[in-house]
Amino acid sequence: AECERLRNDLGRERLASLYQRTGAPLHSAYALPQLRAFYATQPSSDVKSRINKWTTIASICINRWTGGNLKRFNFPISPSEASWTGMYAFRGTGWDEEVMLHLSREAREALPSPCGFDTVPDHLLAIHGDSPYWDRWPELRGGDGSNYGCRLTPGIGDGACANIGSKCTSDRRIAVTVGTSAAARIVLPLPVDRGSPRSSSSSITGSPIEVPPGLFCYRIDAHHVLVGGALTDGGSVVEWLRSIFNISSDEAFLEVMARIERKYVNERNKAGDDISAITTVPFLSGERSTGFRSGATGVLSGITRETTADDIIQSCLEGMILRLNAVINLIVNARQSLATSNEEEDEERPVIIASGNGLV
């Protein structure tokens, strides 16, 4: 409902402009409609007594490890985590001004202050002698005999962490992760000026990044952004299928997958590429990339009396993979467009690195 109200209030042109500034489309998965809905249903007096600051799990942990006081909590948020909310102007250094106009005063005052990784005061990030964790974690003490230990770092968005963990930290690799949800992401440079120095790990630089329709663009640090798309249903499709077909054990599911693989190979050898009789769009929980329609529903088409449970499972998995492929194609096109705008040629397609429990 809040998304629809915002669409009506902003109009198409302002929505498009907001998308380009924040790197996030208007969708119920982001903080703006969620905060508006929350504060609209809470009495002002209750909000003030219950909420001091909105923050992240990483900030709470760092505050606790460094001996901070939760009652006077005012820990900043990194550009990476702020951008992940969909309210951060990713080319700048703070919350988007127009977004703030659509939040109540109580909501604005409860937001943490964005702060760059290198500008957070040391006393907020260093484990010191007064912290209860000083004795618990002696490995994190400094070796110079001082009362301050190692410097922690503010939180990083989970998508950026997934790329780092997959060693996909340049524009030459796309990280694909399939867990409960699924996503494909690439790290791109955030240019400042044409002709600015280029990172040795990057093949493109120089022109301003335009957010490709259908994808998101989150700030990582001062020099990089994360461009990609996510599906609400990834591994959750598998869990749903196992539930409705009562495939409770992993062994039984592996047997099903083995049968599907054998049948797929046999039919492909006979019929070529176009062998699927069933078409499935597995929007079990709405759509994020590429259409960002919260109310979208799934489709299962082409079933007959001969259709088996294996056929439906295969079709659902194919549908999820094809949605990921659509995201990957948009990422490749966006990367190539940025290279082309800089008058550079880079015809090499990025390597895809896949990971996640949903693949097991």
Q: Over its length of 360 residues, how does the chain's per-residue pLDDT go in tens digits?
A: 899 999 999 999 999 999 999 999 999 999 999 999 999 888 777 776 788 889 999 998 888 888 877 666 778 999 999 999 999 999 988 999 999 999 999 999 999 999 988 888 877 888 877 788 888 888 877 666 666 778 888 999 999 999 999 999 999 999 999 999 999 999 998 874 333 333 333 444 445 678 999 999 999 998 999 999 999 999 999 999 999 999 999 999 999 999 999 988 888 777 655 556 789 999 999 999 999 998 899 999 999 999 999 999 999 999 999 999 999 999 999 888 776 555 555 667 899 999 987 665
Q: How long a stretch of residues is the chain?
A: 360
Q: How many C-beta neighbours within 10 Å does residue 67 have?
A: 16
The per-residue pLDDT for 192 is: 46
Give the integer Cα–Cα distance in Å for 95 and 233: 29
The per-residue pLDDT for 56 is: 92
In one-letter notation, the amino acid at residue 97 is E
Helix-strand-coil percent breakdown of the chain, rounded to 5?
45, 15, 45
- Dmax over Cα atoms in the chain, in whole Å? 76
The answer to whether 160 touches 220, Cβ cutoff 8 Å, is: yes
The answer to whether 96 touches 172, Cβ cutoff 8 Å, is: no
The per-residue pLDDT for 274 is: 55
The per-residue pLDDT for 135 is: 83
CA distances from 15 to 19, 22, 56, 95 (A): 6, 11, 27, 16
Give Cα 48 to chain centroid, integer Å: 30
Element (H, E) at 177: strand 173-178
- ∠ CA 228-3-279, rounded to 5°: 55
CA distances from 119 to 42, 58, 92, 161, 223 (A): 35, 17, 15, 21, 15
Q: How many C-beta neighbours within 10 Å does residue 147 have?
A: 11
Long-range Cβ contact pairs of 330-334 (< 8 A, separation 24 or more): 330/212, 330/214, 330/215, 330/229, 330/289, 330/290, 331/174, 331/184, 331/185, 331/186, 331/212, 331/215, 331/227, 331/228, 331/229, 332/174, 333/212, 334/188, 334/212, 334/215, 334/227
Q: How many C-beta neighbours within 10 Å does residue 350 have?
A: 20
- ∠ CA 19-21-22, rounded to 5°: 70
The per-residue pLDDT for 145 is: 62
Give the integer Cα–Cα distance in Å for 191 and 33: 30
- The DSSP line for 264-305 is HHHHHHHH-S-----EEE--SS---TTT--TT---EEE---T
The per-residue pLDDT for 120 is: 83
Give the integer Cα–Cα distance in Å for 315 and 282: 9
The per-residue pLDDT for 21 is: 95
Question: What's this model's pTM, rounded to 2 decimal places?
Answer: 0.86
**Three-state DSSP class for 225?**
strand
The answer to whether 312 touches 277, Cβ cutoff 8 Å, is: no
Give the integer Cα–Cα distance in Å for 137 and 149: 10
